[in-house]
Structure 1
Amino acid sequence: MRKILVVGAGQSGLQLALGLQSHGYEITLMSNRTADEIRCGRVMSTQCMFHTALQHERDLQLGFWESQAPRVEGLGVSVAAPDSSRPVDWVGMLDGIAQSVDQRVKMAGWMETFAQRGGQLVIHGAAVSDLDYFSRAYDLVLVSAGKGELVAMFARDASRSPYTVPQRALSVAYVHGLGPRPEHPEFDAVRCNLVPGVGELFVMPTLTFTGRADILFWEGVPGGPLDVFQGIKDPADHLSLTLELMERYTPWEYARATKVELTDANATLAGRYTPTVRHPIGRLPGGGLVLGVADVVVANDPVTGQGSNSASKCAASYLDSIVSHGDREFDEAWMQATFDRHWESARHATKWTNAMLAPPPEHVLDMFGAACRLQPVADRFANGFDDPSDFENFFYDAAKTEAYLAAVCEGTA
């Protein structure tokens, strides 16, 4: 039986560990926190997973909360004008539902499932020296812990990393009591509110351990009016500032948030990080090699909601590459080929995310405006969150955008 060590208990690490476990591999999972510590800790993310990523979970019979989580049927875009009006406001319908589960709920539950199924769970914050020791006892070491000294083993790929500093200041609050968007009270949708030159507000339904909730997520241009959460320790102050900014920049969202309250004492988060693609192979002091997973090697800004989706897709791709490799050695060539296969998908999410961090060009604004009156345009943009590769066909190039919009108007698209 082949032995594999997975370091990190997030979306990719746990999904991969559980997937390998189901194929009969002897898996050790290292986490720096217990399931209870994760469950009782601070919120970790703003995940909303679309059809493809959810299907990867279903394939492994890991969709434990699918019947409980809100069914997200659409994705809407609003663009704010300087007078706080909405010259652009529409919702595209998704071909398959999306869902969000608080990662404290999911990761704690998956970790307990891994242990119940006979996996070896080690609660220990891994250092490079630990991996140097453990690498001799395992056929393969996978690193999916995206912070700390372990990440330093993976060199930045400058050719794929256009940014050297954070492009957004991030602020998150999980709340109960948010009212429905009056434009579509009959179904749930993720709402993307773009405030040009200032930042973005995302509002998404989720499931947390206290039931249905919503995530209020500000992405602020650094140094701008939304970059004000750093240093705020009191969760109540964090929520108050979140709502104050909503009232100022997105009053249509604030109107349904006047009665919200935090889901729990750990329901807020703030921070920032630089979007970075890294080389996938880490070299240990003793000469061993480790393979980076998901956001260890491809870390995008959350502005397009690709984090948990890309992590799930990476885990599924790596799982297939490992199983299909049989009993052969997991050597450097295999590691590079495994990452390259994943990158064929991940590069589209990275390109789109980096594009959305920049001011939108005129042809993209034209497309957003056209989506107000052309439902197929709204639907296609919404479904790009599930399959970002489609943006190559109509988003980046002004001529392609113009041709696509003309074809929709003529009824030939």
Structure 2
Amino acid sequence: MRKILIVGAGQAGLQLALGLQDRGYEVTLMTNRTSDEIRAGRVMSTQCMFHTALRHERDLGINFWEDQAPRIEGLGLSLAAPDGTRPIDWVGRLDAYAQSVDQRVKMAGWMETFAECGGRIVIHGAAVSDLDYFSRAYDLVLVAAGKGELVSMFSRDASRSPYDTPQRALAVAYVHGLAPRPEHPDFHAVRFNIVPGAGELFVMPTLTTSGPADILFWESIPGGPLDVFAGVKDPAEHLRVTLDLMRRHLPWEYDRAGKVELTDAGGTLSGRYAPVVRNPIGELPSGGVVLGVADVVVANDPITGQGSNNASKCAASYLASIVEHGDQPFDRAWMQSAFDRYWDSAQHVTKWTNALLGPPPEHVLNLIGAAGQLSSVARRFVNGFDDPADFEEYFFEPDKTAAYLAAAAQG
């Protein structure tokens, strides 16, 4: 039986651990928190998972909260004008619903499932020296912890990382009491609100520790008028600032927030990081190698909501690469090939996400404007959140955009 160590208990690490366990591998999971500590801790993300990523969970039989989480059937876009109006405002329907489950709920539940099925969990904040020791006892070591000392083992790939500073400041609040969007009160949708030159607000239905809720997520251009959360530590103050920005910049969202309250004392999060692609193979002092997983090696800005989707897809891709490799050694060449297989899809996410971090060019403004007039354009755009490779066909190049819109207008 092949022995595998996974360091990190997020979406990718736990999904991969459960998948390998199901296929008979001897898996050890190393993480710095217990399931109880995760469940009682602070929110970790703004996850919204689309059909392909959800299917990976269903394939493993670990979609435990699917009947409880709100079904997100659409994605809407609003563009704010200085006078508080919306020159662009539309919603497109997803071909298959998306869902968001608070990672405190999911990761704690998956850890407990892994342990109940015989998996070994080591509660320990791993350092590079630990991995140097453990690499001799395992056939393969995978690093799925995207923060801390371990990330330093994976060098930045400058050719795939156009930014070296954060492009957005992030501020998240999980709330109860948000009223439905009056434009579509009969179905849930993620709302993407753009404040030109300043940033974005995402409003996302979710399932949290206390039941169905919504996420209010500001992405602010550093130094701009929305970048005001630095130094805000008190959760109540965080919510007050969140709502004040909505009142001043997005009154249509503020209008439905009159009764909101935080879901819990751990329901806020803020920070910033530079999006980066790293080389996938980490070097250990002894000469051994480890393989980076998900946002250890591909960390995009969350503006496109792809973090948990990338993590799920990476876990599924690595699972297939490991199983297909059989009893052969997990050497450097195999690690590179496993990453390259994942990068085949991840590269489209990175290209699209990085494009959205800059001011939208004229052809992109034409595209999102046309989506308000043509339901087929809106539908194709929002379904690209599940399959970002489709944006290659019509999003990046003005000529392709123009040809697509002309064809769409003809029906």
Q: Same fold (TM over 0.5)?
A: yes
Which residue does 2:244 correspond to in 1? Answer: 244
Residue 100 of structure 1 is matched in structure 2 by 100
Counterpart-to-counterpart distance in 1, 2:308 and 2:363: 29
- Does residue 159 of the first structure (1) align with residue 159 of the second (2)? yes
Cα distance in structure 1, aligned partners of 2:15 and 2:229: 32
Could you list the runs of 5+ residues in structure 1 that have no partner in the other structure? Answer: none
Structure 1 outlier segments of 4+, above 4 Å: none
Which residue does the alignment assign to 1:202?
A: 202
Cα deviation 1:252-305 (Å, max 9, x = unaligned): 000001110000001000000000000000010011100000000000000000
Q: Residue type of the partner of 1:27?
A: V
Residue equivalent to 1:139: 139
Q: CA separation in 1, counterparts of 2:127 and 2:118?
A: 25
SS in 2 for 1:137: coil
> Using the alignment, how far apart are the partners of 1:407 and 1:262 within structure 2?
46
- Alignment-derived partner of residue 271 in structure 1: 271
Deviation at 1:231, TM superposition (A): 1.1
**Residue identity opposite 1:114 in structure 2:** F
**Residue 125 of structure 2 aligns with which residue?**
125
Residue 141 of structure 1 deviates from its aligned partner by 0.1
Shift of 1:209: 1.2
Deviations 1:218-275 (A, max 9, x none): 0000001111111111100000000000011110000001110000001000000000
Residue identity opposite 1:265 in structure 2? A
Root-mean-square deviation over aligned CA pairs: 0.4
Alignment pair present for 1:176 and 2:171: no
Give the corresponding residue for 1:399: 399
Q: What's the counterpart of residue 44 of structure 2?
A: 44
Equivalenced residues, count: 411
Seq. identity, %: 76
Match of 1:188 in 2: 188
Determine whether 1:35 maps to 2:35: yes
Using the TM superposition, give the Cα deviation of residue 30 of structure 1 relative to its aligned residue in structure 2, in angstroms: 0.3
> SS at 1:237's partner residue?
helix
Q: What is the aligned partner in structure 2 of residue 82 from structure 1?
A: 82
Partner SS, residue 218 of structure 1: strand
Q: Indicate the SS of the match to 1:121.
A: strand
CA–CA separation in structure 2 for the residues paired with 1:274 and 1:297: 13
Structure 2 length as normaliser, TM-score? 1.00
Output the CA distance in 2 between the equivalents of 1:338 and 1:84. 48
SS at match of 2:136: helix
1:139-159 Cα shifts (integer Å, max 9, x gaps)? 000000001110000000000
Residue 83 of structure 1, CA deviation: 1.1
* Whole-Å separation in 2 of the counterparts to 1:323 and 1:132: 24
Q: How does 1:204-353 map to 2 (within 5 A)?
A: 204-353=204-353
Structure 2 SS opposite 1:197: coil
Letter in 1 for 2:99: Q
Question: Are 1:379 and 2:379 an aligned pair?
Answer: yes
